[in-house]
């Protein structure tokens, strides 16, 4: 089944751009009359060369459509498109419609905070979602200014892309914005807790749900300090001031992405307001996210890509600049080593998949296809390549070209070609070879040490040949002492001789983009050495080499397990799905010899005991120990009396309860009591994860009802249900759902769309079933052209993950 809406194709966008010039949008929203829908009256004034086109509109129902004074039949609306026969010259369209409040993190998302029953709304217009808020020409290069008028409940605060006023209770009037692409338009509305400040003439704001007001208050000084530091640095680097008026940072519930760069009102997922103790890794992630969105105010908001195939002009630049500025001017000067853990494998894994694509010009023929390319290639790989380019050009040329680009296309749109012309004007010289090899050719080179031959071999991906030169430092331990060697790899073989048995870490400090692999000798030699490696970036380089090798079935998971046990990666806490601990539990433990989880648990306990009480190492080790525990007494002991230095806060309590559920040592009543005792939004998500993790048929049916849409839940709870559904060791109870996955997946297009449609296909994939049959069926379904494109893309990726696990098992069979 395909989506009930048509996704805009690039050819259609080109034709509409040639036909139209949008002068302005005037949007009136009534958020106060109903809890499931809202009124939306959109007036669009535009000029046309004359001829047929269409406007994008996805309402619950249409009250009236008036075009150039004539009432149109609402039945003309088909699959989200309203056809218009435009006049040459000025045109005016007025659409009075009723729109849906959504619970999937897109459009105008409305949620109820279980902590106090208060409702909160935010707008996410990205990609295909804007037409569920207002009628629009939904493509990035038809920019226009917006004026919003909003009616809301009297106790709500409403914030938008431009400064607003509250002339009477329940009424909000906003100033006219700068020209914006449709996907930047947002509103944040509800009884939010607000904090205000000012810096260098820019009004600053923070907001979050009232139930986490004290947590926002606790974090406000750090958030404002980083915001001010970043503004000063971006102004220094670019020489162009932030031009969008207020700068408000809204932490909103049930947000799909990490954040969205809406001018004037950036939205963030509100778990970034920390209500429990977190590691430095999470604080770095928040800091870089904050700086990333600020970088977007220039890369993306002042100048926006003309089409989605240049989305890297947004994301790669924001990733690079956000990391760089965070490292240079905030307290988190260790960003680059942390990013090596948090982001590098995300990009490398994506770049090795069948679904890989170039950083630039990714072939996004429609908006739906483009959405799938917001991945590790567009972020992590693009950032790494830009870091290399900056090192080559130097700051003077790099930023002079960027400034020229911002100046020439201010408040407009541009392409990659435009940017590279700006760099060439700034003195970069001919960049065609760099562009071809690094930005327009997909896939990474593999760098592997051949000890016997005394060379490092460079192997381009077979389907994407390129001639790339790699310059990097390799770390070699000689008699237990580490030394760095600078290497330039410009051909298939580069001489590199090391002492017998010496461990080698290729590209130890992330200075090029390649799949650098550790050989078996290195992994075994590292076992007695890794614990004494104090350089954080080198340790990250070790784990990236090891992860890439296991990903390509080049080393035995038993050897990797020995390394994990000898030196648990407690410097890389279990904070996100991309970090090393999560990889240990999802890739190493299931493929290593039996008893792997018990060995990891023992190592984590040892690391926890050895750590200083109250330290982050202790907290990270405890999290790993909880995740690997199969002893109810130990888990309940921690609930009753936590280790000295540990506060058994909400986050840790639920980690213990989820693990108790997964091993069958908790029941539904206990989990419900925990939710009732502290009914926060976080508790509701964790409760879903815990119930879905129970090893019984009732729990799996409960989780599956959320996948099929029989039970509608918000996006975070949907993800939690999928993650809990498939637990290792529960294969007997989940066996019936392998067939059901392939039977039920096509029908999910009728109950969800956008991000969450594809996410659910991934969350509920039978990832614990390592069989050739599942691989064959996954690939067959991915080839089904009648299936939604975003779902097919996720199936391709899941098939690749499964095939690689099976390859490891075949190469290194263990009982």
Give the pLDDT confidence of 285-338 residue by residue, as tens digits: 999 999 999 999 999 999 999 998 888 888 999 999 999 999 999 999 999 999
| C-alpha dihedral sign at 162, 321, 142, 105 | negative
620, 570 in Cβ contact below 8 A?
yes
Q: Mean pLDDT, to the nearest integer, of 549-573?
A: 96
Q: Mean pLDDT, to the nearest integer, of 649-662?
A: 97
2 has a pLDDT exceeding 60:
no
pLDDT of amino acid 217 = 98
CA atoms within 13 A on the CB side of 551: 23
* Least reliable range by pLDDT among 150-154, 196-200, 286-290, 577-581: 577-581
pLDDT of amino acid 374 = 78
92 has a pLDDT exceeding 70:
yes
What are the residue ranges spanned by the domains of the chain? 1-191, 331-439, 445-512+517-554, 568-648, 695-815
754 has a pLDDT exceeding 90:
no
Would you name the residues annotated as active-site residues? 293
480 has a pLDDT exceeding 70:
yes
- Residue 464 is given by DSSP the state S
Q: How far is 602 from 236, CA to CA, in rounded Å?
A: 50
Q: Which residue has the tokens 């000012």?
A: 198
4 has a pLDDT exceeding 90:
no
pLDDT of amino acid 591 = 97
647 has a pLDDT exceeding 60:
yes
Q: Which helix (H) or strand (E) holds 790?
A: helix 789-811
Q: What are the b/e assignments for 394-425, b being 16+ CB within 10 Å?
A: eeebbbbbbbbbbeebeeebbbbebbbbbbbe
* Listed residue (372, 196, 429) closest to 758, CA to CA: 372
Query: 331-439 in CATH: which number?
Result: 1.10.390.10
806 has a pLDDT exceeding 70:
yes
> Across the chain, what does the average pLDDT equal?
95
693 has a pLDDT exceeding 90:
yes
Q: What is the pTM of this model?
A: 0.95
pLDDT of amino acid 327 = 98
pLDDT of amino acid 312 = 84
1 has a pLDDT exceeding 80:
no
Q: Which one of 3.20.20.150, 2.60.40.420, 2.60.40.1730, 3.30.70.1230 gives the CATH number of domain 1-191?
A: 2.60.40.1730
Q: How far is 104 from 717, CA to CA, in rounded Å?
A: 10
Largest CA distance in the chain: 85
**At residue 812, what are phi and psi to the nearest 5 degrees?**
-135, 70
pLDDT of amino acid 120 = 98
pLDDT of amino acid 365 = 75
Neighbouring residues of 40: CB distance < 8 A, sequence distance ≥ 6: 27, 28, 29, 30, 59, 95, 96, 97, 98, 99, 133, 134, 135
Q: How far is 701 from 707, CA to CA, in rounded Å?
A: 10
249, 232 in Cβ contact below 8 A?
no
DSSP string, 566-602: HS--TTS-S-STTSHHHHIIIIIHHHSPTTHHHHHHH
Q: pLDDT-based confidence at 127, cuts 50/70/90?
A: confident
pLDDT of amino acid 695 = 98
Q: Mean pLDDT, to the nearest integer, of 10-31?
A: 97
Give the pLDDT confidence of 564-594 residue by residue, as tens digits: 999 999 988 877 778 999 999 999 999 999 9
Q: How far is 533 from 351, CA to CA, in rounded Å?
A: 29
* Cα 79 → chain centroid: 29
815 has a pLDDT exceeding 70:
no
368 vs 51, more confident: 51
Q: pLDDT-based confidence at 667, cuts 50/70/90?
A: very high
User: 808 forms bridges with which residues in the sheet?
Assistant: none
Q: Mean pLDDT, to the nearest integer, of 414-436?
A: 94
Q: Mean pLDDT, to the nearest integer, of 224-248?
A: 98
Q: Mean pLDDT, to the nearest integer, of 543-562?
A: 98
* Listed residue (241, 262, 283, 286) closest to 183, CA to CA: 262
Q: Mean pLDDT, to the nearest integer, of 759-782?
A: 97
CA-CA-CA-CA dihedral for 760, 761, 762, 768, to nearest 10: 110
């Amino acid at each position: 089944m395909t989506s009930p809406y048509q996704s805009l194709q690039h050819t259609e966008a080109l034709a509409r751009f040639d036909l139209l010039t949008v002068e302005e949008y005037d949007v009136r929203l009534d958020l106060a009359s109903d809890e499931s829908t809202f009124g939306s009256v959109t007036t669009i004034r535009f000029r046309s060369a004359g001829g047929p086109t269409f406007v994008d509109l996805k309402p619950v129902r249409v009250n009236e459509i008036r075009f150039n004074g004539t009432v149109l039949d609402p039945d003309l609306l088909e699959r989200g498109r309203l056809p218009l026969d435009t006049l040459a010259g000025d045109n005016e369209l007025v659409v009075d419609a009723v729109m849906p409040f959504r619970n999937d993190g897109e459009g105008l998302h409305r949620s109820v905070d279980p902590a106090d029953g208060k409702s909160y709304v935010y707008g996410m217009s990205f990609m295909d979602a804007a037409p569920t808020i207002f009628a629009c020409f939904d493509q990035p290069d038809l920019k226009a200014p917006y004026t919003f008028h909003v009616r809301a409940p009297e106790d709500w605060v409403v914030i938008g892309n431009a400064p607003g006023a509250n002339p009477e209770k329940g009424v909000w009037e906003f100033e006219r914005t700068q020209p914006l692409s449709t996907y930047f338009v947002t509103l944040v509305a509800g009884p939010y807790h607000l904090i205000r400040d000012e810096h260098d003439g820019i009004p600053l704001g923070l907001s979050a749900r009232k139930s986490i007001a004290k947590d926002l208050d606790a974090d406000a000084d750090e958030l404002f300090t980083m915001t001010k530091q970043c503004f000063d640095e971006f102004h220094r680097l670019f020489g162009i001031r932030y031009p969008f008026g207020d700068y408000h940072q809204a932490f909103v519930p049930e947000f799909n992405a990490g954040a969205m760069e809406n001018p004037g009102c950036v939205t963030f997922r509100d778990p970034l307001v920390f209500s429990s103790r977190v590691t430095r890794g999470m604080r770095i992630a928040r800091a870089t996210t904050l700086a990333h969105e600020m970088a977007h105010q220039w890369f993306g908001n002042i100048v926006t890509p003309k089409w989605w195939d240049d989305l890297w002009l947004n994301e790669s630049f924001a990733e690079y600049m956000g990391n760089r500025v965070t490292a240079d001017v905030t307290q988190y000067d260790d960003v680059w080593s942390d990013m090596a853990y948090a982001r590098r494998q995300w990009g490398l894994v994506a770049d090795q998949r069948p679904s890989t694509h170039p950083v630039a010009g990714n072939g996004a023929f429609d908006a739906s296809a483009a959405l799938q390319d917001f991945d590790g290639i567009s972020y992590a790989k693009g950032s790494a390549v830009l870091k290399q380019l900056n090192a080559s050009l130097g700051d003077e040329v790099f930023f002079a070209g960027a400034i020229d680009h911002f100046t020439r296309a201010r408040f407009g749109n541009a392409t990659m070609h435009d940017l590279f012309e700006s760099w060439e004007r700034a003195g970069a010289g001919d960049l065609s070879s760099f562009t071809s090899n690094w930005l327009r050719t997909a896939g990474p080179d593999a760098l592997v040490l051949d000890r016997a031959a005394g060379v490092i071999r460079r192997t381009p991906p077979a389907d994407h040949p390129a001639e790339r030169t790699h310059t990097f430092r390799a770390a070699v331990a000689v008699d237990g002492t580490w030394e760095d060697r600078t290497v330039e790899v410009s051909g298939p073989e580069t001489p590199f001789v090391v002492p017998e048995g010496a461990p080698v870490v290729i590209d130890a400090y992330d200075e090029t983009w390649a799949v650098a692999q550790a050989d078996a000798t290195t992994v075994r030699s590292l076992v007695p050495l890794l614990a004494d490696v104090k350089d954080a970036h080198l340790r990250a380089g070790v784990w990236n080499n090891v992860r890439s090798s296991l990903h390509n079935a080049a080393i035995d998971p038993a050897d990797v397990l020995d390394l994990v046990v000898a030196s648990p990666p407690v410097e890389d806490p279990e904070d996100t799905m991309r970090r090393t601990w999560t990889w240990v539990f999802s890739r190493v433990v299931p493929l290593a010899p039996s008893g792997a989880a018990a060995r990891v648990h023992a190592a984590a306990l040892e690391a926890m005991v050895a750590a200083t009480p109250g330290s982050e190492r202790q907290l990270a080790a405890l999290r790993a120990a909880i995740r690997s525990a199969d002893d109810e007494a130990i888990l309940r002991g921690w609930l009753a009396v936590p280790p000295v230095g540990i506060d058994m806060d909400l986050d840790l309590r639920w980690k213990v309860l989820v693990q108790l559920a997964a091993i069958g040592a908790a029941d539904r009543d206990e989990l419900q009591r925990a939710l009732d005792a502290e009914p926060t939004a976080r508790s509701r998500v964790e409760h879903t994860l815990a119930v879905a993790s129970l090893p019984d048929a009732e729990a799996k049916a409960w989780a599956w009802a959320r996948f099929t849409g029989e039970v509608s839940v918000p996006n975070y709870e949907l993800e939690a249900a999928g993650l809990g559904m498939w637990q290792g060791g529960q294969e007997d109870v989940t066996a019936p759902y392998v067939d059901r996955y392939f039977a039920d997946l096509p029908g999910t297009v009728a109950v969800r769309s956008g991000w969450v449609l594809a996410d659910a296909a991934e969350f509920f994939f039978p990832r614990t079933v390592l069989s050739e049959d599942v691989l064959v069926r996954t690939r067959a379904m991915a080839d089904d052209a009648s299936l939604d494109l975003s779902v097919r893309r996720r199936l391709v990726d899941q098939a690749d993950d499964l095939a690689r696990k099976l390859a490891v098992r075949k190469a290194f069979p263990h009982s």
